[in-house]
Structures are given as C-alpha cells and as structure tokens.
Amino acid sequence: MQRNILLNPGPATTTDTVKMAQVVPDICPRERAFASMMKGMREDLVRIVHGDPDTYTSVLFCGSGTINIDICLNSLLPEGKKVLVVNNGAYSTRAAEICGYYGLPFIDLKFPVDALPDLDRIEQTFMKNPDIALVHTTHNETGTGILNPIREIGALAHRYGAVFTVDTTSTYAMRPIDIARDNIDFCMASAQKGLMAMTGLSFIIGNRALIERSADYPKRSYYCNLYLQYHFFETTGEMHFTPPVQTIYAARQALDEYFAEGEEAKWQRHLSVFEAIHAGLERLGFQDMIRRELQAGLVVCVKYPDDVNWDFEKVHDYCYARGFTIYPGKVSSQDTFRLCALGAITAKDIGDFFIVLEEALREYGIQIPVCYR
C-alpha cells in the first residue's frame, strides 16, 4: 500500500496493520462477540488516561470528534444553569457555537488566540456567575497548537462547583493525560487522531457518577445524549444505534498497537517529529505563530512568508503529489499553514518532507530563506 505522510491535524497516518484490521468477516454488531470487544475497548480507553475503572467510564459514539463536544454540552447541563466556555481558539469557538445552537445559557469568555487564558478573569467570571455548572475548554487548540492549562482551569471549576469538560481530541493518546490529576471530569477524542485509527468512531471518557446524575437533566438531543448511550451500553453492552463496525475493528488493533508502543515512547516519538518540524522550518527561515514554550508539541502553525511567489495551494499540490499532505491554517487574524506531529510517522519522514518542501520553494521561485517584512 502506498504510504502517505499526513501532516494535517488528523486523520493521521495509520499503520498497514490498522488499515487491514477493517477487513473482517461480516458480523452483526448485536452479536455477543462484538459487544465483548467493545467492552474491552471502553476499558482500554479509560486506561489511556489512567482513570480508575470504578470512577471513570467511556462511551462510544458513531461520528467525528465534534460529536463529543456536542454531546457533552447538551447532556451535562442541568436546567437553569449556565455553561462557561474558556475560549482562545477555533475549537472552543465551536463549543460556543454548539451552546448557541441548543439555546443553552452560556458565557463565551474570549482570550487572544496566541496567549493562555487568564486564570484571574476566569475566577472573576465564576464569582459573578454562581449559576455556572459546566466549564468547557480545549486542551491543545489545534488551530494554533497552543497548550491550555487545563489542570488549573479544572481546579477553578471544581472550587466553584462546576463540571469540567475538556476537548482533548488533539492530545489524547499522544501527550500523556491523567484524568484525575488533571482535574478533568470528561475528556474526549476520535479514533483517527492520537489512536491512529480510522474516522467515524468517537468517545467520551468521564466520571460515571456525573453521567448517572445527568439522567434527569433536560434531553436536548435524541441521537446525541450521553446518558442514553451510556445506559444502553451498561444494560445491553451495545451501542444504541448501529456502530461503525469495521472502524471499531481498526480501533481495536490501534489500541493494541498503542499499548505495545507504550505511552512514554509514543509521546517521545511525537515530540521527536515535532522537533524535526521545527528544525526544518528554521532551516528554511519560516516563522511560527505561537511562542515555542506555549506549544503543545503536536501542531506547528506557520506564518505565510511575505513573498509574491508564495502560493499555498501550489506548494500543497507539489508536496501532495509526492506523498506529503500539508494543511491550511485556522486563524482569522493571520495567514498560516500547519504541520502536525500526529500519526504513525517518524523524524525521518519529516526529513524527507523538507527535501520536497525545499524543492517546491525552488520550483515556484520562492526566496530561501523565506522572507518576512
């Protein structure tokens, strides 16, 4: 199989063994064998964030990662209470939009996209709004690659009696997370990012007692309700509606490969890819947008050079034709593109990529080192 190096922020490059794990004999997902595979998977997803299995559980859903944000926000807010979104990027903005679509009372507490949220302002917001019952933020804002101080935000949320949900889609199974020590009540991811599996399966990992407490919260969605899906799993072992069968077989294989590689070794591999990305960018003179010490170690957000010949589409197409995928930015104030350290790739792949990127710059007459005004 042709091996493509995906430097976009997910779906990630996968191993051939994960791709091939999808090819299985046909099976009805209501069979006991399938339910028992999902049971093991739910336990392993909790293990990845070091959750005590008596306190934490995980719930699977069929959908891309955004479904998790939707489900957490619409399912975990009691009647008459308010959501606080700590927002310094595109993914927390998405959470605020979801609150808007459901008509939930919410505060969109905005911070600059290239800085950490200010904990004092968050605390003042709690003091002024005793009805905040749910706080949501993003761990690694994938648009910029900034790492948010979730442990500190979670401590504040808990001090003021709120549940803390964190979008860990672009850190889970890469940057180590300890759900209890990091003060997380619910975190989430989809199979195609840190797990390096296929698209279509997402999961929420969180506090079982809080899910059970949400049983009588307002039901705002039929398909996307956390308690209903949890309850169905607990009583039948099955997903409420048809699961993405083959995708789940691939995720099972990816979990086995995750534990075989090991949490720390995998994180060090991602970090070595990240360092190689920085080294290559520096050599060609590219500047990144976020201060290096604020970056999560997984996404590099690169400023477009000020060169009349720079054309992202052309550079993308040149690299794509040679097996490397680069990705546009997601910041409105500045033109950027992104290079990410997700997936089954190594620092050597990044070395190969920069040879191709440099060829592309020469091909289109873009000055090297690239220039900024």
Q: How far apart are CB 94 and ligand PLP at their closest, in Å? A: 7
Q: What is the CA radius of gyration of the chain?
A: 21
Closest-by-Cβ residue to ligand PLP is 65
Shortest distance, position 69 Cβ to ligand PLP, whole Å? 6
The CB-of-173 to ligand PLP minimum distance in angstroms stands at 13
How far apart are CB 307 and ligand PLP at their closest, in Å?
A: 29
Q: With respect to ligand PLP, which residue has the nearer C-beta, 188 or 361?
A: 188
CA distance linking residue 34 with residue 32, whole number of Å: 5
Residue 65 or 117: the one with the smaller Cβ distance to ligand PLP is: 65
- Residue 11: asked if its preceding bond is cis (omega within 30°), the reply is yes
- DSSP secondary structure string for all residues of 278-308: HHHHHHHT--BSS-GGGB-SSEEEEEPPS-T
Q: How far is the CB of 137 from ligand PLP (least distance, A)?
A: 10
Strand 327-328 with 132-138, pairing: unpaired
Residues of this chain that interact with ligand PLP (CB under 6 A) are 9-10, 64-66, 91, 138, 142, 167, 169-170, 190
Nearer to ligand PLP, 340 or 360 (CB): 340
Which of residues 34 and 327 has its CB atom nearest to ligand PLP in the complex? Answer: 327
State how far the alpha carbon of 43 is from the alpha carbons of 11, 33, 58, 129, 131, in Å: 23, 16, 7, 37, 34
Distance between first and last Cα of the chain:
43
**167 or 288: CB nearest ligand PLP:** 167
How many residues can be counted in the chain? 373
